[in-house]
Amino acid sequence: MERSGFPPNRHKRNYLLQVRSMLQGMVGSILLAAIANSALADGHSKFPNSVHATKHMVAAANPLASQAGLGVLEAGGTAMDAAVAVQLVLNLVEPESSGIGGGAFMLYWDVSERKLLTYDGREKAPLSATPEYFMNDQGEPMKWSEAVTGGLSVGVPGTLKLLEVAHAEHGLKPWRSLVEPAITLSEAGFPVSEKLSASIARAADRGLTTFDAARNYFFNDDGSALAAGTVLKNPEFAATLTMIAEEGSAPMYTGELAASIVEAVKTETNTGEMTLEDLAAYEVIKREPVCFPYRAFEVCGMGPPTSGGLTMGQILTILSNFDLPSMGPSAEAWHLYSEAAKLAYADRGMYMGDSDFVDMPEGLLNAEYLASRAALIDPEKSMGKAEAGTPPWDEAMLRSPDTQLERPGTSHFSIVDRYGNMVSMTTTIESGFGSRVMVGGFLLNNELTDFSFRAERDGKPIANRVEGGKRPRSSMSPTIVFKDGRPVLLTGSPGGSRIINYVTQSVIAMLDWGMDPQDALNMGHVVNRNGATDLEEGTEAVELQAQLEALGHEVKIRGLNSGLHAIMIDVIDLYGAADPRRDGVALGR
């Protein structure tokens, strides 16, 4: 049985039906049934609101991407094979969020080796970049809105190289066969979703009409945004993908496409510094995962240059000092959570950056240090703004905090194959529509704006300052949770600097409160990034406002647009869930 877990929603149902109609004649009956039933079918009795499967599963942010991944799994492909197909289709149907013009972090569970591997495909600054990269002519930092549009914000992309490297190690199916679904859809066209149409309209006055390629692709001749339901073709992307199908990543890093990228970043305003040498020098890095105990589980994530794994580790380790399981999702529990998040985000801003460039404290996850941080939490009163702590550190260095916050322009997918291999991958072009620079039918990232625009403050360096060849700090948090050495949960989300909150809360909801995975993703968000406590508008979370304010929290009600995609593994049973805030579905068999 397959379903999205999405509460009955007219727009999403209509979109799924349009996708199903488009797929007539393109896919087999099993996959058509998956798309047709995904919004409404019942789940397994243990978790009735989630998708149930026993063989394999994919949960991604668009039904066409999930269908492409399921098709690969049905044909006997591995989770890594499916990840290639999912990402390339997402690039086409959700172009505002991710693609080969951006970067990604991947966790891969290799069941044959019983080993967790992590792949860093984060974008890099050009080798020529200096800490003054985002300074204006007056020696002051540019405003984010001034820096984002154009080639200046584009980092050397890593997603395609990550897919190629990881596929070479873990794939079974020929590379070309995994690119074909995106080529077919690019040529035949796909229906524009409500989400994409609305995103285009919002970005019209945020730089998306600045450059001809993006303006001509996303807008009608009269300047209006493409309407939902419009069938959109992308022959230029099909041509790019055809090159990639035949030659792998080479065209993008050393060939014809590389030259086009370098030329594209030479925009008239905010000219970029990327060179052919920068592209040719790009390497995917296999790093050690960040793993830490949480109650009876081991939670594993990605290490620097993302702050996701470490910050999640701090929040959860601090909370392990409190009995959250007995509290349930109450104001008492959310108060403790918000205070723990403040403490962790304070350390994040002070210490975390690309560890290839920045010496970081070894003790950020030290249990004694985090117990001392937990002792700062008063169950009866908010601490206000938290200060960074002093974790154990062999070589102390005074630093200044960085408050640069990533914008949400990201996607996440989770995949389990029939063999037991698993992928948890978060992928991004930074803000919605990235730099707004389009080449080869895809958008280039604006990832360099994730760096601190200031190099120092009060004479002390900022860990996340710009440096040549450095990878900007991220909040992406692809996660795999283990129990007794066996994976039991994959989760992750887009959402800019709020990603850490979204993913951590999904872990708490499922592990501490035993929630059905879909119910955990449907739950209203409570977010704190060491400031006000944000409650998600239109959800049950707003009912917490009075109680949290009574505890001293500054509370703000706002839209919080996560995109969580989770799979829970219970021996042979798989339970999938897709975030109701986006177009995603979970499909399995």
Which residues are identified as catalytic?
410
Question: Three-state SS across 228-262?
Answer: CCCEECCHHHHHHHHHHHHHCCHHHHCCHHHHHHH
Looking at this protein, which amino acid is placed at residue 142? M
The per-residue b/e assignment along 208-243, b for 16 or more CB within 10 angstroms, e otherwise, is bbbbebbeebbbeeeeebbebeeebebebbbbbbbb
- Closest alpha carbon to 428 in 319, 317, 308, 248: 308
Q: Cα separation of 452 and 441, whole Å?
A: 30
SS3 125: coil
- Closest alpha carbon to 81 in 168, 14, 203: 168
What is the rounded (10 degree) CA torsion for 282, 286, 290, 296? 140
Q: Cα separation of 442 and 91, whole Å?
A: 7
| Backbone phi and psi for residue 286, each to the nearest 5 degrees, phi listed first | -90, 115
Q: Is the dihedral of CA 429, 431, 435, 441 positive or negative?
A: positive
554 in Cβ contact with 532 (< 8 Å): yes
CA distances from 200 to 64, 95, 353, 456 (A): 19, 10, 32, 36
SS3 144: helix
Helix 10-23 with 29-37: angle, nearest 10 deg:
170
Residue 298 structure tokens: 């081991």
Query: Which residues make Cβ contacts (< 8 Å) with residue 124, sequence separation at least 6?
Result: 155, 156, 158, 278, 282, 469, 470, 471
Q: Cα separation of 314 and 161, whole Å?
A: 31
- Closest alpha carbon to 59 in 90, 20, 91, 103: 90
87 in Cβ contact with 159 (< 8 Å): yes
Question: Of how many residues is the chain composed?
Answer: 589
What is the rounded (10 degree) CA torsion for 539, 511, 586, 412? 80
| Backbone phi and psi for residue 274, each to the nearest 5 degrees, phi listed first | -65, 140
337 in Cβ contact with 507 (< 8 Å): no
Query: Which residues make Cβ contacts (< 8 Å) with residue 581, sequence separation at least 6?
Result: 561, 562, 563
- Closest alpha carbon to 533 in 326, 318, 319, 336: 336
